[in-house]
Amino acid sequence: MICIKTFCLISGSIFQLLPKFDYHIDTTLAVTPTMENTNIHQLESTTELLDKAIQDIGHVILGKEKQIKLALTCLLARGHCLIEDQPGVGKTTLAHTMAQVMGLAFHRIQFTSDLLPADVLGVSVFNREQSAFEFHPGPIFSHFILADEINRATPKTQSALLEAMEEHQVTAEGETRELPEPFFVIATQNPTHQIGTYPLPESQLDRFLMRIDLGYPDKDAERQLLEGEDRRSIIKNLKPVFNKEQLFKTQQLATSLHVSPAILDYIQAILEFTRHSSAFEFGLSPRGGLALLNAAKAYALIDGHKYVLPEHIQTILPAVAEHRLPVHLDAGTKQLKSAAQHILEAVSVT
């Protein structure tokens, strides 16, 4: 088991592999309450801004504070977010509201079966006056991209996002062009059993830091929605809480959060378990491990902490790992959510 004792830091290997991959960490896990080269005042002011952003987004997306925090975690960790759910539950509204509150230029791309890669990336057009081709950037050249119903486009068009999401650049017409920073993609997709959908391949899914779902609102939130003002009107009246410079500094602050060797051992224990467990076809890759670490740092910042705790890893693990772990149909867990719970139970912390 892991025991947290503030102001202590014990390094070294701390996890032990037990039979049948029942991992336990049986030593003192330490956390340092200070951050090197970080202004505490900056941390406090940033936390206040993040709380204000969550509150403003929550005025539009009612009763979904957890999902709002996870989406913001993706943005602060310089990742991308995939939202999968039924039509009409607020996926597009969440993306539009986030862009407004975070002060980012917003561009929506409606994915359809006839959408071409050039419609996303851009195209060169011949200029008669200059007798040369000119590149006209596509909608991907923006700070905040909503790829709406991404799984309604063909795999060829879906793959147009691969380089942009991973490298923050686009190669078109033989030339590589940098995308503006910060660059963030929220993609929505409908359940794959619905008509006219193309499942995202594993390589595309792995580009998303998290996959989340919104679900139906609870009774009180839905009543407030029915009686309240139109969501589009509320979004228009929202004022940005962040600007680009503040957001960039907040992303840097998240990167600088302290992670103890014991926390790294905990992450490695999780990775090791997924790679050897018979429940999964294959385990989390090194990129998946980095995603888990970066997301935990960003979530810790949103939670107002100066360091990462095991609770932060446990909170973001389902959203980070579920879409990266194919489950064996005969493993006794047909849903990835139960598989994520299986990991947390096997690699335990107290």
Q: Is the pLDDT of residue 300 over 90?
A: yes
Q: Rounded to whole angstroms, what are the CA distances from 325 to 3, 20, 105, 174, 284?
A: 29, 19, 33, 35, 7
Output the domain CATH number for residue 167.
Answer: 3.40.50.300
Q: Name residue 245's amino acid.
A: E
Given 246, 272, 295, which residue is the final one in a domain?
A: 246
Mean pLDDT value across residues 311-315: 95
- pLDDT at residue 1 above 70? no
Per-residue confidence band for 151, with pLDDT thresholds at 50, 70 and 90: confident
196 and 124 within one domain: yes
pLDDT of residue 195: 64
> For residue 251, is it within any domain?
no
The residue among 108 and 278 whose pLDDT is bigger is 108
Considering only 15-29, 223-237, 246-260, which range has the smallest mean pLDDT?
15-29
Binning pLDDT at 50, 70 and 90, where does residue 329 land? low
Same domain for 310 and 181, yes or no, is no
Question: Once rounded to an integer, what is the mean pLDDT over residues 5-15?
Answer: 37
Asked if residue 310 and residue 223 are part of one domain, the reply reads no
Question: By mean pLDDT, which of 69-78, 87-96, 193-202 is the weakest?
Answer: 193-202
Considering the domain architecture, whether residues 188 and 273 belong to the same structural domain is answered as no
Q: Which residues contact 97 (CB under 8 A, 6 or more apart)?
A: 56, 57, 60, 61, 235, 238
Provide the pLDDT for residue 318.
93
Mean pLDDT of the chain: 83
**Does residue 127 share a domain with residue 31?**
no
- Residues 292 and 343 placed together within one structural domain of the fold: yes
As a whole number, mean pLDDT of residues 246-261 equals 93
Per-residue pLDDT, 342: 84
Given 246, 268, 285, the domain boundary residue is 246
Provide mean pLDDT across the span 137-148. Answer: 93
The last residue of a domain, from among 223, 246, 269: 246
Domain assignment of residue 66, yes or no:
yes
Q: Which of 214-218, 262-266, 306-310, 341-345 has the lowest mean pLDDT?
A: 341-345
Q: Say whether both 77 and 221 belong to one domain.
A: yes
> Do 199 and 50 reside in the same domain of the chain?
yes
Let me know whether 20 and 71 are in one domain.
no
2 and 71 co-located in one domain: no
Structural domain that includes position 152: 39-246
Q: What pLDDT was estimated at residue 29?
A: 45
Please give the C-alpha separations between residue 207 and each of 187, 232, 314, 330, in angstroms, as whole numbers.
Answer: 11, 30, 21, 27
Whether 45 and 75 share a structural domain: yes
Number of domains in the chain: 2
Q: Is residue 77 part of a domain?
A: yes
Q: Give yes or no for residue 219 having a pLDDT over 80.
A: yes
Residues of the chain with pLDDT > 90, as a percent, come to: 51
**In the prediction, which pLDDT does 39 show?**
65
Q: Which two tokens stand for residue 82?
A: 């995939």
pLDDT of residue 255: 93
pLDDT value of position 212: 94
Q: pLDDT tens across 159-193, in order?
A: 888 778 888 988 877 788 899 999 999 999 877 66
CA pair distance 144, 72, nearest whole angstrom: 12
Q: What is the pLDDT of residue 270?
A: 94
Least confident interval from 35-44, 90-99, 104-113, 219-228? 35-44
Q: CATH code at 333? A: 1.10.8.80
Same domain, 87 and 63: yes
The first and second tokens of residue 97, run together, are 């509201």
